[in-house]
Amino acid sequence: MREKIFRDPVHDFITVRDPLLVRLVDTPEFQRLRRIRQLGTASGTYHGAEHSRFGHCLGAMHVMGKVLARLRQWDAGVVDERLERLACAAALLHDIGHGPFSHGLERVITPSRGHEHWTRAILSGPSQVHEVLESYERGLSGAVQQVLTGELPERQRWLHHLVAGQLDVDRMDYLLRDALYTGAVYGRFDLERLINTLMLVDGRVVFSYKGIPTAEEYVLARHYMYWQVYFHKTTRAQELLLQAVWRRARELCAAGALGSGLEVPPSLEPFLRDGDGTLEAYLAIDDHDVLYAFKRWQRAGDAVLADLAARFLHRRLPKPLFRQPRPAIPDEWVTVARQVCSRRGWNPDYYCLLDRTSDIAYDYYTEGVAAVTQPPMLAVDEFGELKELSKVSEVIRALATRPRSGANLYVPEDCRSEILQRVRDGG
Amino acid sequence: MREKIFRDPVHDFITVRDPLLVRLVDTPEFQRLRRIRQLGTASGTYHGAEHSRFGHCLGAMHVMGKVLARLRQWDAGVVDERLERLACAAALLHDIGHGPFSHGLERVITPSRGHEHWTRAILSGPSQVHEVLESYERGLSGAVQQVLTGELPERQRWLHHLVAGQLDVDRMDYLLRDALYTGAVYGRFDLERLINTLMLVDGRVVFSYKGIPTAEEYVLARHYMYWQVYFHKTTRAQELLLQAVWRRARELCAAGALGSGLEVPPSLEPFLRDGDGTLEAYLAIDDHDVLYAFKRWQRAGDAVLADLAARFLHRRLPKPLFRQPRPAIPDEWVTVARQVCSRRGWNPDYYCLLDRTSDIAYDYYTEGVAAVTQPPMLAVDEFGELKELSKVSEVIRALATRPRSGANLYVPEDCRSEILQRVRDGG
Amino acid sequence: MREKIFRDPVHDFITVRDPLLVRLVDTPEFQRLRRIRQLGTASGTYHGAEHSRFGHCLGAMHVMGKVLARLRQWDAGVVDERLERLACAAALLHDIGHGPFSHGLERVITPSRGHEHWTRAILSGPSQVHEVLESYERGLSGAVQQVLTGELPERQRWLHHLVAGQLDVDRMDYLLRDALYTGAVYGRFDLERLINTLMLVDGRVVFSYKGIPTAEEYVLARHYMYWQVYFHKTTRAQELLLQAVWRRARELCAAGALGSGLEVPPSLEPFLRDGDGTLEAYLAIDDHDVLYAFKRWQRAGDAVLADLAARFLHRRLPKPLFRQPRPAIPDEWVTVARQVCSRRGWNPDYYCLLDRTSDIAYDYYTEGVAAVTQPPMLAVDEFGELKELSKVSEVIRALATRPRSGANLYVPEDCRSEILQRVRDGG
Amino acid sequence: MREKIFRDPVHDFITVRDPLLVRLVDTPEFQRLRRIRQLGTASGTYHGAEHSRFGHCLGAMHVMGKVLARLRQWDAGVVDERLERLACAAALLHDIGHGPFSHGLERVITPSRGHEHWTRAILSGPSQVHEVLESYERGLSGAVQQVLTGELPERQRWLHHLVAGQLDVDRMDYLLRDALYTGAVYGRFDLERLINTLMLVDGRVVFSYKGIPTAEEYVLARHYMYWQVYFHKTTRAQELLLQAVWRRARELCAAGALGSGLEVPPSLEPFLRDGDGTLEAYLAIDDHDVLYAFKRWQRAGDAVLADLAARFLHRRLPKPLFRQPRPAIPDEWVTVARQVCSRRGWNPDYYCLLDRTSDIAYDYYTEGVAAVTQPPMLAVDEFGELKELSKVSEVIRALATRPRSGANLYVPEDCRSEILQRVRDGG
């Protein structure tokens, strides 16, 4: 048996024994995740967070193995070897479709397709991932796809929720991993304890009453990570700037700059020209192509592009208008801000940037209504009855019922006070 | 006061209060360190170790601040504000000259110049680092340079040893940092305790007898990190391959491929053509240029270059001939190995790679002879007498007196057993 | 300077430099705290929690030193050396009056006096603590006393709140300490961060907005420790049994057993006879006297006392009637339970034990009304405005507004189901 | 199944599933370990180390379970359920015979019998431990005894070495536990890793080559704990004083004080009178009896006893003559010291105390000669060959070959300088 052992800063050792999983890790598509940062632009704010998707995907697979081992210990019959392989492959590949800067450019490079599209495409092939799965067992790539999308018979749907739910191996890994790398203590929770309270009841993965404090910790961890790390205003500023650079380059290409004047790395051409590309083209790009391009564009003939790229690389970021995000930014305020920017010589399309976290928002905990994709977290009491978490935890109830959204405007530093003044004066 | 606070996974919070230091961090030359990995190719082996030089340099400065605070607490007169600023600037900038892949390509991209050359060049300018230093205080860039090189009056030489000695802030930070990111427990030691035993006696930074166990821990940490992490055979294999790709590209350029056929990122041109470049050219390149080039070269017309680049990116690495490094590899063995490679169709210049760790070796502890650059670690006993560490610690004596070198040969997997057989049969 | 260094499992090193504090630690009254367990009977449930009050008191003083250093860093003028000495002495001595089993026997051994009485008595003397304080500076013992009781001028009242408030060094130490020793992760919070956000505004110690998440962590830590550790049903059972043994012994003494038949350690005589004693007598007793007596009483002529003592020592504990505490236990239920116990041969006065946590309840967080003794926790926003914590934290609001009390009945195992049945049947 | 879960500060959760083990934990003999401190007098030096033998014994059993699980994973056939139960029972009970203050009074209370005698006696009965074992399976108490003494067939002898060898569950637990409670970082090593490298080869528990660094850590941990904690000079002073108090009390009893004048707790009578006692008498005493007696003896008519007891309780300890232990203390020096003490009015039998750590020394690592009781630690290389640890580790070799003993004299503070002077002057 050729097992592979990875030393991991979060889980210590990750041992991969199943030969299928070893071969999946070795595919170029999976190795490519080493070149895609997990948190996009967040390393600008938290310099420690330079980690790639590679470790997270290994970690999610590892956590899946632990969860299944726990369920098997709880009831030996619930997980057989085939199911374990399928679930671990799904956990390993759940983010395989991510592209440059992960969520940071996801809907910008290929506006009509998110990373889930590319995951599906990689599974369907042509790709080495597809080949490895199908050569192992015919139809396996489709089965993995079903686990990821949830198109499963009712009694197996819990498998899907373990890779894409409120209590899934994705979150369990990324909270701990991002907390470690950022240095934020907030994301920590007791993974061993959480897992050791899990059970499979009525076809759902639930936790026992004893696990409520740990489940609270887990949801709080998410809450804090969102507001302290993922939505940190400096990270948001850098992400908006990243997108602005790309948008400007696309604009120029649309106006005919491709091939005449603007230096464009060949790998990026289709995406800048068409906002789309073939699977092969998509698999060829990663953070390095984008950063290489940005570095070149500092010397671009177009002054806006050159300035934006330099600002991005040297971290001269736009400033948030408000210290705390607001529930919403009225259209009039945007108009005012754009006017001020324009008058001071900043093209508002690239320098006056509206951010709505509700656009990207992800509830750290919701009492799920749309039960298929995001079923609620359930605790089972001493009599076997299932209770939704926010019903038995006042802490969670406090978090679950408040709307979560926030908006802000990011503008050049020299415009900020004037805009603020005019907004306060009512326009 | 515009203080800057960095959240750091190793030191928790790094607070920069001195306005000079804040401005140094903001220079493009320093921000560029974000794009240069601390451990070159080691992240191929330890996937967590994807961190850049940026965090390490901040960390070294932070540790310097702590060491000086301790010395000041021990004797209020030894460190004034100016000295502190100078020492912290030197710690912050000690690695500013590093280039793509740090040590991994250091003597390959510009064979005649190491990173110390480039550090000196950046300090001398033209550069923003130079400007920031000189505009703060005339002559300051030279003073920083002197701390880094040790050209200091005898009574200040301890400052130099704190940035480049056996007990320096460089090692104190990188051991802890690399240990955290790799997940290796070996690099850990108790930084607080180590620092709290330091004193300045006879113009040298020494530690008290109480600190001996912690000093042992620190030297052992280094010992383990070298053999378990830095010299790990997979890391060595990937670094040798990295250099082979570059050497092949240079060879092709020397043979006229530049401008005809071989796609070469413009930023890399001078280095591939001349093995050298201007400071401006050097500052323009980082890991991204190299990796972007490698990705393009997978499709190069030259089959050797294309194959080597693909092997590097997809981690199909050469294999070590011996499981444990040997004291030396006789020339006959190298000849045999090259013959076997050649016969099987592998160009031995790129596929039969000799590794001598003594080339890169760095004693994790030496009882220093060349006292100026690497003075010994000294403990001060109850009567104020100084004792060299290996004299008072049997554990350190055991490590200090054994020669430390190792050699190995890395070859294509399909050649390994034949070479091994012939070497064992005596040729 | 004769500094004293204590290695502490919670704070690593506790260094005592002030000669007054060193001498206070060396008094017999303070050394006596080594023989009084911090958590009374909780070590029966959490076997790791065998720690004494000694370490906690050192720890509280250490945390006080850190808080004052932070305030001084924030504004150099707020804390002078004399104030620091006074505050640290108060923190060191805040629990000096605790007796055997701390809260577990506090109002049982001397029903009319709590530990605050004895603290006051020790400060007033005759005692070595009193002598050390007065010989250092006349009137100092009274000043310490004022810090502990809060009889201070308005502008110094924050000192009192730092030893006895919702955000005090007592809680900061005991949460971390008890969490470490019990092995409960719940009590942990980030002490360094919490302290580093403190400021003195309008004569109150408040924390900055940045500190809100850490303050939440701190209040949650307290919440979890109360419900998971301090009010754990097994701990409650053992404490009720402890008190029952003592009550029985007193009863027998009242009935004339003292000096005839019942073996009573001489040190305990006044307390068993009179429910009170002189300061000298009080200082002579600790956990050892009580446990030694219990061990002897296993062989007492009185069968109830012998049985209770043996049950206590070998941990055959009464059982809680309800798995979860109830808001209240109606008198009829108590009557029923006592009847069942009696009929089965158990003297209900000692075997049917009513527990009301509201009796001992301590709000882990209250939006303070009685502002003098328990002022609210306040956060200061960017404009210097003070906001009460529950106003700016939905998590805290959730905890603060719910009533917190619970009651249960503890009975012999063989009575439990019958009582439960009859209670459910309505009597 | 009635499993019992203990929350442990070292191992987090200790789950006891085997009903035999649950019942053993519940015996009065095992519960009694709660009243015997693990480290005797060390809590005087390290105030955190107030933990009892109870937790250590649970921990040793827990580690045994983990080691056996690892061996079973490595080779499913090596450990069956019966063997596991036997091994875990032996680990749980390995220290059941310890008495008051563990090693501190072991050969003082009953000079002719060590704790191993009492362990054997408890296993042989009459005791509840004996009954529980025999009622579970006839002959089981003898089988446990054999595991503890090593009277086993060759092929099972590894079981014995796991409870009493250089690589045993006793050390694995106490190093981690004592390190945690003292706050000393030195005792830490990576338990999970150490266990995960174990194998059973040729009837011995050995570790793989990969485990060498962890095994080094483990031996170094022991080395540091011995010299920094167990042999700490303040701990030694307090232990010598403890023994002096007892010796004086015995002397007085021998001279007829029992029953006339000296207050002696009845439980201690046989030991003070005869230096021995029945098993029942032995099981009745613990730390509390001794400390209760010491507290009473502060008021004893005999001035020496009263003074010694008060010194012990208030920690006015004798002072070491030398800062560092010496290889040996010549008889002449002892004579000089006794003379000085006598002249200054101190009875040298109780105030001039000779300490030889070689008396209590325990090699933290020996290349075993007396192979049966202390076989060497063995590493197995890639070819299955066994190598003794000091042969493959220079660090261990350094520790293993140096003689380890030390002697010191402890005297009243007012005699120290005169004795030192005269000893230096050659008498």
pLDDT, averaged in runs of 10, over chain D (427 residues) = 83 91 97 96 95 98 96 88 96 98 93 95 97 97 97 92 93 95 82 91 90 87 83 93 97 89 94 96 98 97 97 96 86 96 97 76 46 71 83 77 74 96 81
pLDDT value at residue B368: 43
For chain D, which domains are there?
Answer: 4-231+365-400 (1.10.3210.10), 240-359+406-424 (1.20.1250.30)
Q: What backbone torsions phi and psi does residue A301 show, to the nearest 5 degrees?
A: -65, -35
Cis peptide bond upstream of A213, omega within 30: no
Q: Is B7 on the interface with C (CB under 8 A)?
A: no
The amino acid that residue D221 corresponds to is A
Q: Is A138 on the interface with C (CB under 8 A)?
A: no
Option in C7, C292, C296 nearest D46 (CB) = C7
pLDDT-based confidence at C182, cuts 50/70/90?
A: very high
Q: Residues of A with CB below 8 A from B34's CB?
A: 43-44, 47, 50
pLDDT value at residue A361: 30
Q: What HEC string does chain D produce?
A: CCCEEEEECCCEEEEECCHHHHHHHCCHHHHHHHHCECCHHHHHCCCCCCCEHHHHHHHHHHHHHHHHHHHHHHCCCCCCHHHHHHHHHHHHHCCCCCCCCHHHCHHHHCCCCCHHHHHHHHHHCCCHHHHHHHHHCCCHHHHHHHHHHCCCCHHHHHHHHHHCCCCCHHHHHHHHHHHHHHCCHHHCCCHHHHHHCEEEECCEEEEEHHHHHHHHHHHHHHHHHHHHHHCCHHHHHHHHHHHHHHHHHHHHHHCCCECCCECCCHHHHHHHHHCCCCHHHHHCCCHHHHHHHHHHHCCCCCHHHHHHHHHHHHCCCCEECCCCCECCCCHHHHHHHHHHHHHCCCCHHHHCEEEEHHHHCCCCCCCCCCCCCCCCCEEECCCCCEEEHHHHCHHHHHHHCCCCCCEEEEECHHHHHHHHHHHHCCC
pLDDT exceeds cutoff 90 at B421: yes
CB contact under 8 A, C398 and A398: yes
pLDDT value at residue D340: 97
Residue B47 Cα, gap to closest chain A Cα (Å): 6
Residue D61 Cα, gap to closest chain C Cα (Å): 15
pLDDT value at residue B178: 96
C neighbours by CB contacts (3+ pairs under 8 Å): A, B, D
Between chain C and chain D, the number of residue pairs with CB atoms below 8 A apart is 103
CB contact under 8 A, D398 and B394: yes
CA pair distance C76, C365, nearest whole angstrom: 31
Q: Chain D 28-47, CB below 8 Å of chain C: which residues? A: 28, 31, 34-35, 43-44, 46-47
Q: Which residues contact D303 (CB under 8 A, 6 or more apart)?
A: none
Between chain B and chain D, the number of residue pairs with CB atoms below 8 A apart is 29
CA pair distance A268, A167, nearest whole angstrom: 37
pLDDT exceeds cutoff 90 at B261: no
pLDDT value at residue C366: 54
User: pTM for this one?
Assistant: 0.87
CB contact under 8 A, A399 and C397: no
pLDDT value at residue A337: 97
pLDDT value at residue C427: 52
CB contact under 8 A, D183 and C58: no
Q: Under DSSP, is residue C299 helix (H, G, I), strand (E, B) or coil?
A: coil
Q: Residues of B with CB below 8 A from A188's CB?
A: none
Q: Chain D 216-235, CB below 8 Å of chain C: which residues? A: none
pLDDT in tens, B69-80: 999 988 888 899
Q: Is C365 on the interface with A (CB under 8 A)?
A: no
CB contact under 8 A, D267 and C314: no
Between chain B and chain C, the number of residue pairs with CB atoms below 8 A apart is 4
Could you tell me which residue, C162 or D13, shows the higher pLDDT? C162
Q: Is B7 on the interface with A (CB under 8 A)?
A: yes
Neighbour-count burial for C307-327, b at 16+ CB within 10 Å, e otherwise: bbbbbbbbbebbbbbeeebee
- Report residue A209 as tokens: 């009453």
pLDDT exceeds cutoff 80 at C375: no
Q: Residues of B with CB below 8 A from C12's CB?
A: 192
pLDDT in tens, C259-306: 788 999 999 999 999 999 999 999 999 999 999 999 999 999 999 999
Q: Residues of C with CB below 8 A from B196's CB?
A: 13
Option in D185, D213, D397 nearest B186 (CB) = D213
- Report residue C173 as tokens: 């130490």
Q: Is B59 on the interface with A (CB under 8 A)?
A: no
Residue A176 Cα, gap to closest chain B Cα (Å): 13
Residue of chain B whose Cα is closest to the Cα of A31: B314
CB contact under 8 A, B289 and A295: yes
Residues of chain A with pLDDT under 70: 1-2, 358-374, 400-405, 427
Q: Residues of C with CB below 8 A from B192's CB?
A: 12
pLDDT value at residue D384: 80
Give the helix/strand (H/E) hosting A244: helix A233-254
pLDDT value at residue D255: 92
Q: Residues of B with CB below 8 A from C196's CB?
A: 13
Region B369-380 average pLDDT? 66
Among the listed residues D369, D91, D376, the one whose alpha carbon sits nearest the alpha carbon of residue D219: D376
CA pair distance C204, C198, nearest whole angstrom: 10
Residue of chain D whose Cα is closest to the Cα of B227: D213
pLDDT in tens, B198-241: 999 989 999 988 888 889 889 888 888 887 888 889 999 999 99
pLDDT in tens, A53-84: 999 999 999 999 999 999 998 888 889 999 99
Residue of chain B whose Cα is closest to the Cα of C196: B13
Q: Is D258 on the interface with C (CB under 8 A)?
A: no
Give the helix/strand (H/E) hosting C283: helix C279-283
CA pair distance C57, C31, nearest whole angstrom: 11
Least confident of A210-219, C110-119, C401-410: C401-410
Region B53-59 average pLDDT? 98
CB contact under 8 A, B34 and A43: yes
